[in-house]
Amino acid sequence: MAVLLIAEHNNKELRPFTLNAATAASQIDSDVHAVVIGQNSADAAKQLSELPVIKKVLSVEAAHYENFTAENFAPVIVKLAENYSHIVCSANTFGKNLMPRIAAHLDTSQVSDIIKVISPDTFLRPIYAGNAFATIKSNDAKKCVTIRPTSFDPCESTGGSAPIEKVDASEEFSNTKFIKREEIKSDRPELGTARIVVSGGRGMQSGDNFKLITEIADKLGAAIGASRAAVDAGYISNDHQVGQTGKVVVPDLYIAVGISGAIQHLAGMKESKVIVAINKDGEAPIFSVADYGLEADLFEALPQFMEELNKLNTIQK
């Protein structure tokens, strides 16, 4: 039986991690179908049909799917699941909210946040904030799996031409009502997919001081991250949080500024290819994962860093 991928989108286009989830799905079985549930989401369905790894697209449309409520999505997918061996989705807030609701309806024990497909029934996943890796074999007939998007490369996005099939909507769940979504718009790259991330912690001391980080991020074409301490202190909004309960990032370069390096923060960034730590406490745990550590006062180091960057003839973007 084929694998069913649940596409994440905003009704206009696919969210980028759908491509990473598609790669994981195709490693489970080469026969991957994808379902796009939304309202006026034809463009997202078309985009999905162009992914070469997708063999068929199922499109479900209704007004009550416009805001991606799990209570509305789950019944459709549960019904479709009859024809599939695996249901797959990204382990971001969309998939984390939705998949367990599907799994419980199917009486399946979900395998969350996998970082590797070992075989169609066996997966590798981090536990204890990534301080241990568990190899998990699922004995359920149907498997519900969420994948950690940064652990899989995005699939090719053009060249495919899968057929798009309409599927009937299910009834509306009336006890949950969407009110509003406050998205923080930014011209910078998305935190989850950026090549470079510059992150600030409690050491930044104020939200205003984050402009030292912003300047450098702009210069490097980087996304801005933060530790939970910085978000809790109100220096920056929650969508920037990197860590066990925030986002997991795997950029080519991660620059941690004024971040001590609690286990929970390391869980979200320690797979980055190159890690830089700037901290005035030479004993801070962040230095244990850093490739390059600079023991310095960030309020002196960051302006100097900007100056040195300005001296460079070229900067990779």
- In 3D space, the residue among 69, 148, 123, 60 whose CA is nearest the CA of residue 101 turns out to be 69
Shorter beta-carbon distance to another protein: residue 29 or 239: 239
Contact (CB, 8 A) for 262 and 252: no
How many residues touch another protein under the rule CB under 8 A: the total is 91
- Residues 6+ away with beta carbon under 8 Å from 307: none
Q: Does 305 bind another protein (CB under 8 A)?
A: yes
From the list 53, 250, 276, 284, which residue makes contact with another protein (rule: CB under 8 A)? 276
Q: Hunting for tokens 């090719």 — which residue is that?
A: 156
From the list 9, 55, 64, 228, which residue makes contact with another protein (rule: CB under 8 A)? 228
Q: Does 270 bind another protein (CB under 8 A)?
A: yes
Q: Does 189 bind another protein (CB under 8 A)?
A: no
| Alpha-carbon distances, residue 195 vs 42, 150, 155, 213, 222 (angstroms) | 30, 12, 17, 16, 7
- In 3D space, the residue among 23, 21, 89 whose CA is nearest the CA of residue 52 turns out to be 23
Q: How far apart are CA 54 and CA 88, in angstroms?
A: 13
Shortest distance in whole angstroms from residue 262 CB to another protein: 9
Q: How far apart are CA 35 and CA 165, in angstroms?
A: 9
Q: Does 283 bind another protein (CB under 8 A)?
A: no
Q: Does 213 bind another protein (CB under 8 A)?
A: no
Which stretch in 24-32, 55-63, 163-171, 288-296 sits in contact with another protein by CB under 8 A? Answer: 288-296
Q: Hunting for tokens 């495919």 — which residue is that?
A: 160
Q: Which of residues 246-265 bind another protein (CB under 8 A)?
A: 247, 252-253, 263-264
Backbone φ, ψ for residue 204 (5° rounding) = -70, -25
Q: Does 71 bind another protein (CB under 8 A)?
A: yes
Count of beta carbons in the 10 Å neighbourhood of residue 265 = 29
Q: Does 171 bind another protein (CB under 8 A)?
A: no
By the 10 Å C-beta count (0-12 exposed, 13-18 middle, 19+ buried), 245 is classed as exposed
β-bridge pairing 2-6 and 84-90? parallel
Q: Does 294 bind another protein (CB under 8 A)?
A: yes
Which stretch in 58-66, 81-89, 201-209, 287-295 sits in contact with another protein by CB under 8 A? Answer: 287-295
Q: Does 233 bind another protein (CB under 8 A)?
A: no
Q: Does 72 bind another protein (CB under 8 A)?
A: no
Shortest distance in whole angstroms from residue 109 CB to another protein: 4
Contact (CB, 8 A) for 33 and 5: yes
Shorter beta-carbon distance to another protein: residue 42 or 124: 124
Q: Does 63 bind another protein (CB under 8 A)?
A: no
Q: How far apart are CA 159 and CA 98, in angstroms?
A: 30
Q: Collapse the DSSP code of 272 into the 3-class scheme (helix H, G, I; strand E, B; otherwise coil) and give the result.
A: coil
Shorter beta-carbon distance to another protein: residue 57 or 298: 298
Shortest distance in whole angstroms from residue 201 CB to another protein: 16
From the list 63, 135, 171, 211, which residue makes contact with another protein (rule: CB under 8 A)? 135
From the list 30, 211, 273, 297, which residue makes contact with another protein (rule: CB under 8 A)? 273
Shorter beta-carbon distance to another protein: residue 38 or 49: 38
Shorter beta-carbon distance to another protein: residue 30 or 186: 186
Contact (CB, 8 A) for 152 and 250: no
Q: Directed axis angle between helix 210-220 and helix 298-311, to 10°?
A: 20
Shorter beta-carbon distance to another protein: residue 56 or 219: 219
